[in-house]
Every structure is written in C-alpha cells, then in structure tokens.
Structure 1
Amino acid sequence: EIDIRVKNAFLERKTAVIRTTCFDPNNNEVIAVETPISLDAQQETMVTQTAVIPTPKLWHVDQPNRYRAVTYLKEDDTFHEIYETPFGIRTTHFDVDEGFFLNGENTLIKGVCLDHDGGLVGTAVPDGVWRQRLTTLKEMGCNAIRMAHNPSSEALLNLCDEMGFLVQVEFFDEWNNPKDKRLNNIDRHDDEISRGYAEHFQEWAESDLKRTMLRDRNHPCVFQWSIGNEIEWTFLRHKMATGYFDANTPGNYFWALPPYSFADIQERYEELPKGQHVLEKTARQLATWTREMDSTRLVIANCILPSVSLGSGYADALDVVGFSYRQVMYDASHEAFPDKGIMGTENLGQWHEWMHVIERPFISGLFFWTGIGYMGESHDKWPQKALPSGFIDVAGFKKPSFYLMKSLWQEDPVIHLTTQTLDTSPYLVDENGAVVEKEPGAWRQRLWVWHDVNEHWNYKPGVVTAIELYSNCDEVEMFVNGRSLGSQLLKDQEDRIFKWVVPFEPGTLEARGVYNNDQQAAMMIQTAAEPAALQVTSDRLALAADGYDVARLVAQLVDANGHPVKHLEQEIVFTVNGNCRILGVDNGSPQNVQDYQTDRLTISQGRALLIVQAGNVGGETAVTATSGSLSSLPVKITIEDKSSPYSE
C-alpha cells in the first residue's frame, strides 16, 4: 500500500490523476498505478494506492535491494508534484525462543550503538565521512546500528538502506524526569548542565515521535522503534525496588543477580511512592502512538533495570525488552517471563557479552557500546575528551578490539598481532611456563575500555614482552625472527586471545594460522628503524565540485624500508594546494585536545588524519605532509564538475 497525503492549495476545485510508478533495483519499471482525485479548494485528503510487485528482490543486510516509487500529480498535461520514495521489501520476525528472523532466515543481530557526531567534523557530518565509518563497521561484520540516544540524520539512514544495516531508531533519552548529568545519581539539579528534553517532553513528545516516524518509516533498514533509553534511572521508585542499592546488599550490580525474587521486587515496587509521573503509564502512551503510526515494526526500549521493568508493567508496553548491561539477567528473565522476547540493546564491547548471546538461542543479538568513539563522557579526566571505548576511534582508525570482534563476526580468516610489555599487561607466566591472567577470570568482567596494547614491535632489547593475537583460526603458530614459539589452539583460549611471552629482540614477529583445516592466514610486523619518510594515502582520488564532497587522507611515518613507525610522536604539517579546504585534522587519541581546524598536529601511533572538502570549481588539488626534514610525495585529487555520489 502507498499512502499519499494530498492538498489542493488552489482557490478553486481541482481534478487530477495521481500516478505512482515503481522501479526495481536495476531501474526497470515493475508496476504503475493511477488514481483520479477531485478536491475542493484547500481540501486535504489521504489517497491509498494498492499494487503487487511480483517476485520481489528482498532487502537483506547482505544484499540490500532497493526499489523506487515515483509519485506525481498530473492535471491535463501539467505535472504539479513529483515525489520519489526509495523503499525495500523484507520481512522481520522475533521468536521468544529462537531469536530474530530476517526474510525467514534466523539472523543474529551483530550491532553497535552510534552517537551522532563524526569526530573532527562535529555533528554536521558529510555523507562521505559516514560512508567511510560504515564501511569499516561492515568489514568488522557489523549488521545493525542502534541510533543512540536520539533519531539520526536522514542521510545516515539512507546510507544504512544502501549498505545493508538494520537500524533501531531511538526516540528519547529522557521522558518526564531529567537525567542527572552528574552520572545519574539520585541528586537532582536545576542548573544548566542538568537541563534536557524532559523540560519539553509533555508538550512535544507526541509530535516529535510521530514526525520522526513519518520521516523514517519507509526506510527498509529500520526494524525497531525504541521509545526510550535507560529511563528507569529517572524514576527513583524503580531503582530502589531492585534491592541492588540497599545499604546491606552484597555483590555487584553488573555481575550479580538481584538480591530478591521477581515477586519480592514487584512487592517492594508497589509499596514505594509513585511520584508525579508513572513510568509504565508514559510507556503505554508512547507505545500506543508508535503503533498508531506503524504496526509492522516492533516497539522496544533499552531497560537498565529489567528486574523491575519486567514485572512493573513497563515491559508489557514493549514487544521486545532490551537489556542494558544485564547479561546476568538473561536466563532468569527468560525462565520467569517465557513469553517476552529479550535481547541486548547496550552491551560492553567484550567477548564475554557475545559469548552470552551465542550460547542462548532466545537472545537475538546485541548492540555494543560503542561502535565508534564519540565526544563526551570524559568524566573530569582532562585532557581526555572522549570515553576510549568502541572498536573504531574518534578519527575512524581501527582499534585492536576491532580485530577481536571481526574474528567473532566474520567467516573469513582473521589474524591480528598486538604487543605490550609483560609488566603492563594483564598477564604473568606461571610456574608451568603458561601465560595466565594476573587476576584469574578477569576477562569475564572486563568493561568498556580495551586494555592497552601496541601494534608495533619496538622495545628495549631483552624487555619481557607479551604478544596478544586475535584470530578465528583453529590453530596459530608464532615466530620471532623465524624461530617458532610454538602453536596454540583456539579452543584452548577461553578469552579468545592467543598469548605468548618472549624477551624482545629486534626483527620480525610473524603469526601463521590455519582456518577450517585448509585456509591459511598470516600477519607480520617488523621492528621499525628511525623515520625516513611520510606516506600519505587518500580514500578517494576524485571529488565532485559541489562544495560538499570529502576525502579522508592519512599520513604515516615510515622507515627507510617502508615499515610503519608506530611508536613515535612528532608534529606533522599538511599543505593543501587547489580547490579544497581543510575540514580538520586529528590523530584518534581520546587525549588529543589539539585544534581540529588547523593544518598541523602532533601525531599518535605515527599517524594523523586530514579531511578535505571540495570547492565548487573543478581542477586538481595536491596534498603533501611534512615533519621536520621529512616530507611526503604529493597526493593528487581531481575535483570534477559533476554531482557527488554522496550528495544526493
């Protein structure tokens, strides 16, 4: 069905024809339907057209087929309006015992949460920046994005349609009550830093929710509507009912089951004062508005206190209950509420979270916090400007944890080497010569931030060094300067990390793996000498002269043999000659507080990012980088007089 709202804005009665033509992914016309209309002056009506597309090509995360519906008004020989709607055809289904199905196929939701900024470009993110970031997430195996904690730009949804990402659209981070911006404690403040959407919720919630849905509901990528994020924190009745925060309660909220049964928690909840607003009542209203606009997608929320919400009535308003950092509650919740679908909607970026998913068919997947680094949540740790979580940093560089997750989510062989000194690592060598955790089992409770590792092989000779390797290979053998350190099996690595310890010696570190008994994978890193040059690469060598298109350039220190130098920091200066402007520079470090809008910065891990934006005139732009006496060859970017593929 195609719903079209039409208004006659003329001062006299008008008669016309509404025609909609649909085109398949190959731009072939597949159907056309016409509807005659006759409207009085200023009259408005809804026209519904019905058509059947035979044997449609379905939209899927691995094959995101998209159709176009072109609708226009025709009065005699005059065309008044032409409106194009991209759309996709697909089915979704949640089973409380077997998880999520896309087009009838059981599909694990391999998701990440994304904030709305794009690093150095701020929140006015060019499409080319999002495309690069989404491409990197796709490489990791990601197939779903939670837009946290507010609706995203339409441009980002368009890219998710095109590239094959499922999307959870989240409406609100606050409802009736404000969140305390000082880490969500019980205290309430009325100063500027604590103000938020709660001030406008009563007046604008319905309008904002419905307008968001009107804008977003034709996107095939959108498969869930989230009505709220961790709203329970703002209703103190919920927090106090859990028992977790009683003065005499043992255990840790993250890892321990509630101190009371579901029934006891519900009794405590009923005994506590309700306050001015009742969470469950608001949730029912939001869910009702959502279903009025769209009955084809499920309603969900990110619940931080599901031990209360499952019994209080909050979960009754939802089709699927999202759990925020509550893996410990999966089994008990499924047993107590077997008819309610549950999944992870905000999870630590660690293997133990994914392990809890693949061991439980009734958990359809999760959304890691977070996919990409974002500005904020530095928590008075200046000069830290961003929480150093995520698989990709604020500049879009892959972090070591990216490769661990890729080894879990991709079916092709993955192998990635990292190193660190043993004394700064989480490991020690036991009396049997095995590399073990200093705190046995600590990997099971690792939080948002990945432990420090390096991606180089440069230490002082003789320093005892821990080697960490992330791989999905069944067996991996490690070599130092051609000498084997022995082989290890993946099935023996509880934490999914291969580990060796060896005194550092300059030269070559190499890992060789066997995947599925026949495929080979390998990675080598070499001790870098002193920097001898700069290498500059660009993700694009042609831009449209539209004043919008962007290219992402990376400068990397290298030695005389071309090996990356990743253990030194020094200043780099970029020069851009031609019809491009510098949008900014960054090095990816969460501690980098150097200016963005400049031509120079001190690098991190031997590298730096430059983003340039095309002007409005065609021609050629040359980009070079210098650092002291070192310089790069110019990278030449052609500025073409045609529309950007990203600007549509």
Structure 2
Amino acid sequence: MMKKALKLILLLPFIYSCKSQVTNHTFVRNEQGNPISLDEDWRFIRYGYQPDGTYRPEPDSLYQLTVDDTQWEELDVPHDFGITGPFRMDLAGNTGRLPYQGIGWYRKDFYVNPSDADQSFYIDFDGVMAYAKIWLNGKYVGTWPYGYNSFRLDLTPYINFNGKNTIAVRTDTEKWDSRWYPGAGIYRNVWLIKTGKVHVKHWGSKIGTSNFKEKSVDLDISLEIENKLPDSKQAIVKTQIYELDHNDRIGKKVLSFDQHQIQIEPRGIQKIKLKKNFPNFKYWDISSPNRYVACTRIIVDGKVTDRHYSSFGIRDIKVSRNGFFLNGRRVEIKGVCNHHDLGALGAAVNTSALERQLDILLEMGCNSIRTSHNPPTPELLYLADKKGILIMDEAFDAWERGKREWDYNKLYPEWHQKDLEAMVRRDWNHPSVIFWSIGNEVMEQQNVAMTQHLVDIVKQLDSTRPVTNGYNDPNGGRASGACQALDIMGVNYFFGEQAKWDKDERYKDKPTIGTETSSCISSRGVYFGGDTLRKDFQITSYDLDSPPWGCKPDVQFATNHQYPHLLGEYVWTGFDYLGEPTPFNSDKTNLLNFRTDPGKKKELMEQLKKLEESQPPSRSSYFGIVDMAGFPKDRYYLYQSVWRPDYPMTHILPHWNWPDRIGKKIPVHVYTSGTEAELFVNGKSYGKKTKTPGKDYRLVWDDVVYTPGVVKVIAYKNGKKWAEDEIKTTGKAQKIVLSSDKTNIHAAKKELAFIKISLTDESGYVVPTACIPLKIEVSGNGRLVATDNGDPTSFTPFQSNCRESFNGLALAIVQADSKKKGNIHIKVTGEGLKDGEMDIAVK
C-alpha cells in the first residue's frame, strides 16, 4: 500500500500546476483544465450474486475507514465485473448469459496538498453501472442511479488535507434489468477536479453560433460562473478561442472576447453571455472536422481561480421535408445503431477500441451513429468530433412504463429530468451531435403530454438541434398526435404506410428518418444450400434473413429510393453485441414490435415459447454488419456498395470451398458499386447482369455449377471497367498469419492492439472453413487482454488464451504494461499449423 501512496504523492506537482500558457498543450477533456485521472489502483470486491450463481451476503458499512480491504482484488478502472463470466446457460440470453447482476464495492486512496485547503475538489464519473453510491472518508457524498449518465459530486466538505483520503463506491446491478448486456461496475473513466472557489459551473459553458455569412459567423457563448464562498466576489472573465488539431494539441489563438467584470452573490451563480464576430472561421464537416477550444479564465483578486476548456466545432445544421442539411448541402444519413459494449472487452471503455470500431464503419461509408439506447461514453463523442461522424444522442429505452420489471421505469419519476438535462448539458458543445433522441420504442409512444414534456426539457436547454423519438408504432404515434411535438419523426422498420402519412396535413412536411432499419441477421462466413437460412444456431451470410419486423437491406434501400425525402437510416446494427441473440432469443419484449398486430404477436409468442424451452446456446447478436470480433460480414460490402457509390469495389459470396457439392449449383451473389458485372468460373463466363436503379442492389447468378478453382467478377460503370474481385478454392490450413491494427502502442494511454489471426493455406489464402483450436501466448512488455472469433455460440471465456478460429479467423487483444520497458511478443500456435509470431512496439 505504501508504494501506491508514494505514486500519488509524486503526481501532486502535476495535479496542482496551473498552466500560464494555453498553446502547444494537449487538450484532455471538457471542463477544468487539469483533470487528474483516478483510474489506477482501486481495490474491488463482489457481493450478492456471484459469477457461479451462489450468493455472498454483503457486510454492513463497507464505506467506513476501518474496513480492511487489503485482501480485495487490485485493479484499474474502467472495469466491468460481469465480462469475466463464466457464460451460464441458466442466465438470460438477452444479456449474453453473463453474470452481470451483483453488488460491486470499489475503494481507492488518494492525497491532496495541504496548501490547497482553499480550493474546491470534485469527482467526475463518466458512468457507473448502476445505482452508484459514493462515500469519502466514511461520509456519504451522493448517488446517481442511471448507469449511462456522467455525473459530478462535490468532495470539498469531506476532504482530508492532512492525510489519506479514501473514496468508496457501491454499485448494484442486482435489480437492473436490460434487454442487452449492460455491464457492471465503474466501467467508464473517473476524474479528480481541483479548482478555485470561483469557477465555471459543471457543464456551465455553452457555445453556439448565429448570423452565418460567407466568411464569418457570430460566436455566442453562455457561461455560468459559480461562487462557492460565503462572501460576494468580484470576478474578471476572459475567454479566448484557439485552434485544436487532430492530435488534440491546442494551436494558435484565433479570437479573443472582451473581458467581463461581474459580481457574484455568496454561494451564487452568475450567468453571462458573450458574442463576437468570428471572421475566416473553418467549418466543422464530415470531410473536414475542424475544431476549436474555448479557454475561459476566472480571475479573482488578481489570481486565476479557474481555467476552463470547451472544445467545439462550427457547423450549420437544418432539417426539412427535403432532408438533413449540413453547412448548406444535403447529407443523406448513412447510419448504424450501436450498443455500448466493446465485444470481448465488455462494457469497460477503451478509447483505442472505440476508435477501431469507428474506423471500420467509416471505411464502409457510414457517416452517423445512433447511441442505442442511452447516453454514450464521452470518448465516443470526442472521437466523432475528430473524425467527422454525425451522432444521434439518445436518452432512454423506457419511460414510466417499463419493458422489463427493473428497467428505467423505476427511475423515471424522480430522475428523468435530471438524466435528460445531464445528457444535453454534457454533450451540447459537441459538433458531432446533430439530433437528440428522447427514447426508443417506449410504451408511451401515443402519449401526447409525456412526449411534449420531454421535448420541452431538451428545448429549454438547447433549441439548436432537432429532437426525435424512435417509434415501432409509428401509426399510433401519428394518429394520437404525440409525434407532432417532435422535429423529426423516427420510424423503426414499419414504413408500410409512409405514403399515407405523407399525405396527412399534420405530417406532410414532417422530416422523417429510419431510426432503426433492416435488422438483417447473419453469421460471418456461414452459408447453407437450398432454402435453408438457419441451422445449428447459425444464420446464412447470404443476407436474406431477418426477424418478422425486419427486412433484408435491399428492401430498405428500395424504400429510401421510393421516398427520397427521408433523411436516411440507422441500420440495426453496426456491430454485433453481447446479448439479444435474435432469432434465438426468447425475450418477450420482442412482442412489442407487434403491439398493434394481434395475429403476428400470437405467432411470435409461440416461437418465443419454443425458444425458451429449447435454451439456444447463443450469447451475442446476429444483427451486426460487423461481427463482435470486428471482422466484416458479407453485408458490410453490400452497404459499402450503396453508401460509397464513387468507390470502385466489388465483393463475391459465398466462399469457394465446397468439396461435397461438386457438380451442384451454388448461388453466387455480387455486391458492387458498379452498375453491371460479368461473372467467370475458371475462365467460363456466366454472363453479364445489370442493376435496375431503385430495385437491384445485388447481382445474383443462381445457376453456377460448383467446380473447384477460381471465381472472378469484373464490374462496370457507365460502360467502363470499374472494379474486380476473385475468390479461390483453398488448400487445407497450413499457416497462422498475424496482422495488427497498430504496429506500436502507447503504454500510458492504455492503448490496445487488435491482432487478427488468419489461418491460411500454403499459398497464403485464408481458409474460409477453418475452425481449429489455437493457443495465444503474449510475452515481453504486455499482456493478453481478451480473445474472440465472432462466433455467437462460443462460450469460451473472453479472457482465455485458448480460442478456436471461426471460419478462418480469430482475434487477440493485447495491451502494454506501463510499468515495464520493451516490446510485446505475440505467438499463436495450433496443431498441424506453422506458428504465427509478431512484435508490437511500445512507446
């Protein structure tokens, strides 16, 4: 314990420095300028329900200073105590058959400088799942039950300036129900904030724009200055604007506001508004995400008491019947819905894992993400700001009437306004956030007063962004008039009567978007013959299957073409996620998709009953365009062909390893951004096929006779050769080939390297049917964090170093040890295979 105490003391000079200059420093996060990470060196213990299903009674008063925690587990946060498993068949498939329900206690010691007794100290939690309660030095500080929201608590009254401080956090997911895997514990980052007694209030800086002209814009800043002293104080407020580069370095100063002198009442808050014309500004846009940072200094009695940072971007957004407009041009929303887990990492946030997901989606042509169905981690929004990704920021999956007994309905009466305000205030300066969503498929979709109430809460804080709600009963929401309160009508799947509502006087000018679309389901690299779509709890990757409420992607593309005024779509989902393994999911909330269709509801109920009895061995979803390991499914290339029409590409499916089907017909599908294509098998042409605009989104050859060899496609556009692709019949798996998304990683930044493990034949072609047990060994300056293979039926623990490949691929996730020096060495072995080895450099 002494080693950890010394480490914290060594941090003190950094914690309590106050930078005299702004430029050339690295921006860390919005709010006060010297946030200190409290992520390291926690102790943890689990009570209540245990991973093996037993129950461990919780002792009283674990927040007391006298508690002996020396035998507790030592760890860093973010931490998800459910992801270690084990998978258990007696647990619900909709939450990944993982033991996330339990009571977690966390404790941590830290010290502050006695000379800072005149300062205020806060703790910022980016998210704690769930029902978080916090104590400092045995004194109760506060709570925030909704696990997806960020919150701040004032530690100042309880700080010990002359010795050790002990913070204790209790989390409780025993009565937190979810329709997907929510994670458990302190699963996002934690920060210690030190500032003077007169400072910018938490989330008290709001930056807006007005009066756009060709080369200038008015910058409008609203500030809330808080005085924590018992005496009235006079303060000087100075705000300056700096450029912020892609590496988060603060650059040159580009604008200065006139200083303001204000008088703040004892323990009061003073609001001020700043306005100034900003000439020659740079737009934030999808292709050029230029960012700025506002630095506000508060000066009292000649001393700087606070230095506050707010990053932002300047963009002009509008919505109308004609579409979504960004900086004056129409932008079609090509979006995906994503849950918050990071696959094998669980819910524990890691910036490099998030960035990998975003980069994969960007390559597909995705330009927007709906944060289904909760406020996201702050890191997602910072990355979206940097990469030019548009965000629909969503608040709730339930309102006052729950979908499950212990979901948000238990919190709604007391907490809905606090939670909604917290989301909006935290995120209102992010240029990536373009829509607010107040809910998803809530039970009160037809409730006019409740919808208006929630919209009003948002609009009182931010009237610059449109508000929407995701309806899986769009007819009911329109008929009742509830959705008239919305700026945008959000439709989940049911576009069958869109033409009717387009003619309705109330809605003919209402902008409409697909808040959830398609719900196509598939397993990567799996194909069945004939009419078989599902077998052995896997689903064909021909991209033809969906649950009763969904459709194949082609149908939604045709809908978007038929109704060009639609703003676009959010596909369910970008990535596979833990839990909700539809169609092998007996969760009765699926019935809510047919709340107005008794016949289909009864039919689905019978199917769910059979599933409940059969207990399918699935732990993750099949909805993803990308599997849970981050490997694209065939569908990825279908979306790429439509969303990136100017990108020359073509993709063939299925694979061409069918030794038991020689001489039999195998359908061949081609996804291409071209308009026509010709297919060849071993040099023999099967003819050209041409797309009909608005109708055809894939080209299909149903009469291809299988013979081992080479399948090649040449795509054309406007009569000219556009792109080509080929697949080959491979030999047996002979080698293990490793590749990484990074060649070097930063130990201090907790960066991860994602190692793709490919099983190839002697010629280096991935063997698409290879499912072979592998062993992953990591040595040197690093450790193995997790493994996966994208198989939704795999019950191998994610922390295991033994992992079977799934259709030729597997994944290893490694991290550097910040306490060591040197590189990381990864070695993967498998019986009958040549070893795969590689090194990752550590900075």
Give the TM interval when normalised to the shorter protein.
0.7 to 0.9
Aligned residue number for residue 236 of structure 2 = 17
Q: Give 1:546 shift.
A: 1.5
Please, which of 571, 578, 591 is the counterpart of residue 375 of structure 1? 578
Write the distance in 2 (CA, Å) between the matches of 1:91 and 1:562: 49
Alignment of 1:389-408 (within 5 A): 389-408=623-642
1:404 alignment partner, SS class: helix
| Matching residue of 1:570 | 772
In structure 1, what is the Cα distance between the partners aligned to 2:510 and 2:232? Answer: 53
Matching residue of 1:147: 371
Give the match's secondary structure for 1:28: strand
CA apart distance, 1:28: 2.6
- CA distance 1:492–1:359, change in 2 (3 Å): closer
Structure 2 residue corresponding to 1:284, chosen from 430, 434, 452: 452
Could you list the per-position Cα deviations for residues 559-599 of structure 1 after superposition, in whole angstroms to 9, with x for gaps in the alignment?
A: 11111111121101111112222221110111122110011
- C-alpha contact (below 8 Å) 1:533/1:630 kept by paired residues: yes
Superposition pairs of residues 353-368 of structure 1, within 5 angstroms: 353-368=556-571
Q: Is the 8 A contact 1:351 1:405 kept in 2?
A: no
Measure the CA separation in 2 of the matches of 1:377 and 1:141.
26
Residue 197 of structure 1: how far off its partner (Å)? 0.6
CA contact (8 A) 1:179 1:234 kept: no
CA distance in 1, matches of 2:267, 2:780: 52
Aligned to 1:72: 297
| 1:377 aligned counterpart, secondary structure | coil
Aligned to 1:219: 430
Q: Which amino acid aligns with 1:86?
A: S
Counterpart AA for 1:314: A
Q: Is the 8 A contact 1:572 1:626 kept in 2?
A: yes
> 2 CA distance for matches of 1:463 and 1:339?
53
Correspondences of 1:51-450 after superposition (within 5 Å): 51-75=276-300, 78-96=303-321, 98-180=322-404, 194-231=405-442, 233=443, 279-336=447-504, 337-348=507-518, 349=520, 350-378=553-581, 379-380=585-586, 382-410=616-644, 411-419=646-654
In the TM superposition, residue 287 of structure 1 has moved relative to its aligned partner by 0.8
Conserved in 2, the CA contact under 8 Å of 1:472 and 1:490? Answer: no
Instruction: Give 1:456 shift.
Output: 4.2
SS state of the match for residue 359, structure 2?
A: helix
- Equivalence for 2:164: none
Give the conservation status (yes or no) of the 8 Å contact 2:394–2:437.
yes
Task: Measure how far apart 1:12 and its partner are.
Answer: 4.2
1:95-147 deviations in Å (ceiling 9; x for gaps): 12x11111110111111111111100111131111111111111111111111
Deviations 1:326-375 (A, max 9, x none): 11122111111213222211111512112211332321111111111111
Asked if the contact 1:462–1:503 (Cα under 8 Å) also holds between the matched residues in 2, the reply is yes
Q: Which runs of 5+ in 2 are unaligned?
A: 1-219, 246-250, 521-552, 587-614
Q: Distance in 1 between matches of 2:700 and 2:564?
A: 30
1:247 match:
none
CA offsets 1:3-36 (integer angstroms, 9 cap, x no match): 2221223454443322211123553311012222
CA contact (8 A) 2:320 2:509 kept: no
Conserved in 2, the CA contact under 8 Å of 1:584 and 1:612?
yes
Can you list the C-alpha shifts for 1:156-177, whole angstroms capped at 9, x where unaligned? 1111111111111111111111
* Percentage identity across paired residues of the two chains: 30
Aligned-residue CA RMSD in angstroms? 1.8
**Residues 594 and 404 of structure 1: is their aligned pair in 2 closer, same or farther, counting only changes over 3 Å?**
same
8 Å Cα contact 2:747/2:815 also seen in 1: no
DSSP 3-state at the match of 2:278: coil
1: distance between equivalents of 2:300 and 2:835?
A: 62
- SS of residue matched to 1:214: helix
CA distance in 2, matches of 1:638, 1:352: 46
Structure 1 residue 76, shift from structure 2 partner: 5.7
Q: Which residue does the alignment assign to 1:476?
A: 677
CA distance in 1, matches of 2:825, 2:437: 46
Cross-structure match for 1:608: 810
Kindly indicate whether the alpha-carbon contact (under 8 Å) linking 1:549 and 1:613 is maintained by their aligned counterparts in 2: yes
Distance 1:11 1:398 in 2: 59
Aligned to 1:151, the other structure's residue is in SS state coil
Q: Is the 8 A contact 1:178 1:234 kept in 2?
A: no
Paired position in structure 2 for 1:538: 740
Give distance in 1, aligned partners of 2:277 and 2:771: 61
Return 5+ residue gaps in structure 1 as ranges: 181-193, 239-278, 420-454, 641-648
Instruction: Give the distance between the partners of 2:261 and 2:757, measured in 1 at CA.
Output: 60
Shift of 1:485: 2.0
Partner SS, residue 340 of structure 2: coil
Q: What do residues 41-65 of structure 1 show as CA deviations (whole Å, max 9, x unaligned)?
A: 4332122222221132111122211
Does the aligned pair in 1 maintain the 2:656–2:708 contact within 8 Å? Answer: no
* Equivalent position SS for 1:630: coil
Q: Which residue identity is paired with 2:831?
A: G
